[in-house]
Amino acid sequence: MNERSGAALKVLHCHSTFSAGGKEVRSVRLMNAFGAAMEHTVVSAEPDAMAARALIDPAVKVRFPGDFPALKGLPTPGRLAALAEALKSYDLICTYNWGAMDAAMAHTVFARSFSLPPLVHHEDGFNADEAHGLKTRRNLYRRAALKGAARVIVPSTGLEAIATGPWAQPPDKVLRIPNGIDTAAFAAPPRPGALRLIKRKGERWIGTLAGLRPVKNLPMLVAAMAGLPEAWHLVICGEGPERDAIAAAAEWLEVSHRVHLPGAVADPARIIGLFDIFALSSASEQFPLSVVEAMAAGLPVAAPDVGDVRQMVSEPNRAFICVPGDAAALGTMLAELAGDADLRRRLGTANRERARQHFDAAQMVAAYRDAYAAALGRAF
């Protein structure tokens, strides 16, 4: 463990995936904000999913080792011991979601015998296999694995209840920190040239930022927008395994000419203002960063009532948070917003103000700094 006064802290990040999704983007923003105070090592349970790497400030010291023990596999004593051995040379261990739970278990089992540094676990939500209900065996494993964590950090009230309920974590160990962004950057005008897609005169865009994964239910979003007038297009920014399923849904509904998949966006603040409406269709969310980004950009939001989405948006926008898993309900919300430009402006203004007041990055960075300092037992 690094005890030198003023030396950069060595932090290991064990991610379920390091694609450019909400938790990964937040992790990178914290890395960038902490600057020279930390040096980072990033490993992923999905070694090929590393798109968030491109978002890291070049001045930040970070490495991506190719020889780190796999985060996935049977949690045998030998494998957990190998993971624990790999945790020894750091000052702080940060684990993220179910895909990194074996690293947390290795830490709990071997912390004393290996003199391991403190571990902070971050939980941001669930994949499709737990979107409609948590698995009992995983809950039991989480209870045991998180026993040695110094903190369990969550962004939403729903996850806070799960951590203190099914996962049996002490309330004083669970910390809720809402996701935050640079609200001023997202309030700035968009840069049309930053997106590999041209918004033609007269077009209106429903947009979303999401990993193209089953839990995001993006074919349903295609169905929800299909009945809108021809001027309305759907722009889905992101990458993932569901690209073909989304394209197939658009072809089946004969709206392929109005559904666009321009790929992942390195800097959402530069393009999100091109949207006229922001939409989600997810089967499961907790505190989606993309909703805060849309709010800060002054957009109305249409989304299913999942996670903290209803509480996140401004009070007048809550009428457009609909029943989960219902394409018709989401389509009705989109149609009402599409038909009333003044309503879109009013909701967008209210959302922007709420984002500025409650979800700015400065508040989030300060809260994480305090949490990590408490785990370390010293300021940095």
**DSSP labels for 311-358?**
HHS-GGGGGGEE-TT-HHHHHHHHHHHHT-HHHHHHHHHHHHHHHHHH
Q: What are phi and psi of 300, to 5 degrees?
A: -75, 155
Per-residue pLDDT at 1 exceeds 60 = no
Per-residue pLDDT at 5 exceeds 70 = no
Q: Between 133 and 88, name the one with better pLDDT.
A: 88
Examine residue 216 and state whether it is found in any structural domain, yes or no: yes
Asked if 176 and 210 sit in the same domain, the reply is no
Examine residue 1 and state whether it is found in any structural domain, yes or no: no
Integer Cα distance of 320 and 339 in angstroms: 14
Integer Cα distance of 233 and 205 in angstroms: 5
Asked if 249 and 341 sit in the same domain, the reply is yes
- pLDDT tens across 104-120, in order? 999 999 999 999 999 99
Q: In whole angstroms, how far apart are CA 375 and each of 43, 237, 251, 281?
A: 21, 36, 51, 36
Q: Which of 178, 189, 205 is nearest to 355 (CA)?
A: 178
Q: Between 133 and 343, name the one with better pLDDT.
A: 343
CATH of the domain at 150: 3.40.50.2000
Domain count, the chain: 2
Tokens 């957009």: give the residue.
299
pLDDT at 132: 75
Write out the residue range of the structural domain in which residue 92 sits.
Answer: 9-180+360-376
Examine residue 59 and state whether it is found in any structural domain, yes or no: yes
Whether the Cβ atoms of residue 120 and residue 93 lie closer than 8 Å to each other: yes
Per-residue pLDDT at 347 exceeds 80 = yes
Examine residue 106 and state whether it is found in any structural domain, yes or no: yes
Asked if 28 and 156 sit in the same domain, the reply is yes
Asked if 145 and 249 sit in the same domain, the reply is no
Whether the Cβ atoms of residue 75 and residue 65 lie closer than 8 Å to each other: no
Integer Cα distance of 110 and 114 in angstroms: 6
Q: What percent of the chain has pLDDT above 70?
A: 98
Q: What are phi and psi of 260, to 5 degrees?
A: -125, 135
Asked if 136 and 112 sit in the same domain, the reply is yes
Mean pLDDT of the chain: 95
Per-residue pLDDT at 322 exceeds 90 = yes
Asked if 274 and 315 sit in the same domain, the reply is yes
- pLDDT tens across 38-73, in order? 999 999 999 998 989 999 999 999 999 999 999 999
Examine residue 3 and state whether it is found in any structural domain, yes or no: no
Asked if 165 and 197 sit in the same domain, the reply is no
pLDDT at 2: 52
Whether the Cβ atoms of residue 268 and residue 289 lie closer than 8 Å to each other: no
The pair of structure tokens assigned to 185 is: 């950057």
Whether the Cβ atoms of residue 232 and residue 257 lie closer than 8 Å to each other: no
pLDDT at 135: 93
Q: Which of 121, 7, 10, 122 is nearest to 61 (CA)?
A: 10
Asked if 139 and 110 sit in the same domain, the reply is yes
The pair of structure tokens assigned to 215 is: 């839990």
Question: What integer is the mean pLDDT of 233-257?
Answer: 96
Asked if 71 and 137 sit in the same domain, the reply is yes
pLDDT at 193: 86
Task: Give Cβ neighbours of residue 347 (< 8 Å, ≥ 6 apart).
Answer: 300, 301, 314, 316, 317, 320, 337
Sheet holding 38-44, edge to edge: 62-63, 38-44, 9-15, 92-96, 119-122, 151-154, 174-176
Integer Cα distance of 165 and 151 in angstroms: 16
Whether the Cβ atoms of residue 313 and residue 354 lie closer than 8 Å to each other: yes
Q: What percent of the chain has pLDDT above 90?
A: 88
- pLDDT tens across 164-202, in order? 999 999 999 999 999 899 999 999 999 988 998 999 999
Per-residue pLDDT at 341 exceeds 60 = yes
Examine residue 221 and state whether it is found in any structural domain, yes or no: yes
Examine residue 58 and state whether it is found in any structural domain, yes or no: yes
- pLDDT tens across 77-114, in order? 999 999 999 999 999 999 999 999 999 999 999 999 99
pLDDT at 110: 98
Q: In whole angstroms, how far apart are CA 62 and each of 94, 252, 366?
A: 14, 44, 21
Band of residue 32 on the pLDDT scale cut at 50, 70, 90: very high
